[in-house]
Amino acid sequence: MRYQPVSSFGETNLLPTRSFMILILSFIITTNFNHGVLGNPYSLKALPLNGHFSFDEIHQAARDFGNRYQFLPSAVLHPKSVSDIATTIKHIWQMGPGSELTVAARGHGHSLQGQAQAHRGVVINLESFRGLEMQVHTGKHPYVDVSGGELWINVLHESLKYGLAPKSWTDYLHLTVGGTLSNAGISGQAFLHGPQISNVHQLEVVTGKGEVVNCSERQNADLFHGVLGGLGQFGIITRARISLEPAPKMVKWIRVLYSDFYAFARDQEHLISAENTFEYIEGFVIINRTGLLNNWRSSFNPQDPVQASGFESDGRTLFCLELAKHFNPDNTDIIDKEIEKLLSQLSYISSTLFQSKVSYVEFLDRVHVSEVKLRSKGLWDVPHPWLNLLVPRSTIHDFAEEVFGNILTDTSNGPILIYPVNKSKWDNRTSVILPDEDIFYLVAFLSSAIPSSSGTDGLEHILTQNKRILDFCEATNLGVKQYLPHYRTQKEWRAHFGLRWELFAQRKSAFDPLAILAPGQRIFQKAISVS
């Protein structure tokens, strides 16, 4: 089948004749759809599946972690095999451009702005898909084969049975493998191992034509690199082969504070470039927080309790450096000396050194502890107007001076992460768009809004703050790129991708020519035949 190539949101350069034809065809198609002739979602009922469709219990598929957008699908697929996913997509593909049906893959529902939703389309619930049991392969180059719908926390527990673990993580582990690989997957290990998409050997993908394709660097490489960080535009990840390494048993977890951003950034950049360094390096911005160090005492021990008790955080802008060093019980003394040497090279406030020894699992799953507390208070299922930015090293000081000095007055709405990563650890053949410098910073504003509030903790206030930050970055040409990007027009998406836009569009035409997949990203709209 051949159809007109996909079109993009915001396209304005259509010829008058073509525009007229599309309007006429759109009227015919919409009329037929409404009369149940073309694109009828109930035709899905006849498909031979191992799983099943739900046409009534669909409201959960219209919600996500962002809690800001709700678009109801026509159906939710609960697949039990890869063929269920392929059969569904192929059926919609064969309907052609006369059908309005689109498809979105939903993992753990952690999208922020409706990216995993499909208005009047089909949402595929990947968490019900257990088409492949996890298989850990030991040896010189260990790896694990996992389903795209598997949670990273489960991957951790299964690989630990063999004394192994993935190299790169996200801060929150209750996310699906396919979900994070469709974005990048970043945490404090990224400076050392790269993001999660840099630690994948092979993928199984269902394309927008319903084809099941195995891909890697050596096989179907264009699809492989396109899908990694591809925002779900080229295929649904149904299986992934993840690189593993020997896992430690324990972690030395350290926090220190800085009052000077220059010293904070200098020390972070020193640590990510050092040969023998920590395995995890992140940073936080803390503005006008009362009793900060006292709050740390529930999980950490101060190096100097007396000095720590006298430290005042009220009314101050502080920068927290968070570090982790892996160890096993039999080499504790060696690791302690390495840590002491590394810390001696840093310029933090001496009275703010806090340390803790925890298990490897406890450290990696640390955010889940906060989730449990927030759920118990009814503060988890609230709007999350997050903003994630990648800021070049050369402009991070200008960014920090304006954002942390003028735009933000406190950090009570949620944590603000800030830490550098090495671009050399990223594969430039993937679809992720990065700043054009060797070192750049992830700056993540992880805000939670209180429903119905009109104050500084309300959604509108936080969104206004986010817009001020974005406007400043654009006005001053800081070279910032969004991570987990969200745009509304083609002009914005083209600006985001820059010179990479043509390649991205070519891959879309090759692997999802009708723009069936991931409509919630708002990059492409479903194609309409004009022939």
Which active-site residues does the annotation give?
110, 171, 282
- Residue from 519, 492, 484 nearest 66 by CA: 484
Cβ proximity of 421 and 442 under 8 Å = yes
Bridge partners (DSSP) of residue 482 are 389
| Nearest-angstrom CA–CA distance, 466 and 483 | 14
Contact assessment for residue 232 and residue 121, using Cβ atoms and an 8 Å cutoff: no
Cβ-Cβ contacts under 8 Å for 165 (sequence gap 6 or more): 156, 159, 244, 245, 246, 247, 360
Burial class (CB in 10 A: 0-12, 13-18, 19+), 405: exposed
Cα(462)–Cα(453) distance, integer angstroms: 11
Strand-strand pairing, 164-166 and 200-207: unpaired
Q: Rounded to whole angstroms, how far apart are CA atoms 364 and 346?
A: 25
Give 445's Cβ-side CA count (13 Å radius).
Answer: 25
DSSP 290-334: TTHHHHHTTT-EESSHHHHHT---TT-EEEEEEEEEEE-GGGHHH
Instruction: Identify the three-state secondary structure at position 41.
Output: helix
Q: How far apart are CA 270 and CA 308, in angstroms?
A: 26
Q: How far apart are CA 350 and CA 40, in angstroms?
A: 67
Residues whose CB falls within 8 Å of the CB of residue 337, separated by 6 or more in sequence, listed in order:
none
The half-sphere exposure of 305 on its side-chain side, counting CA atoms within 13 A, is 3
Helix (H, G, I), strand (E, B) or coil at 272: helix
Q: CB-side exposure of 462: number of CA atoms within 13 Å?
A: 22
Burial 68-106, CB ≥16 within 10 A → b, else e: ebebebbbbbbbebbbbbbbbbbbbbebbbbbbbbbbbb
For the chain, how big is the Rg over CA atoms in Å? Answer: 24
**Cβ neighbours, 10 Å, residue 421:** 24
Q: Please answer whether residues 236 and 124 qualify as being in contact, where contact means their C-beta atoms are separated by less than 8 angstroms.
A: yes
Please state, in angstroms and rounded to a whole number, the distance separating the CA atoms of residues 37 and 3.
Answer: 20
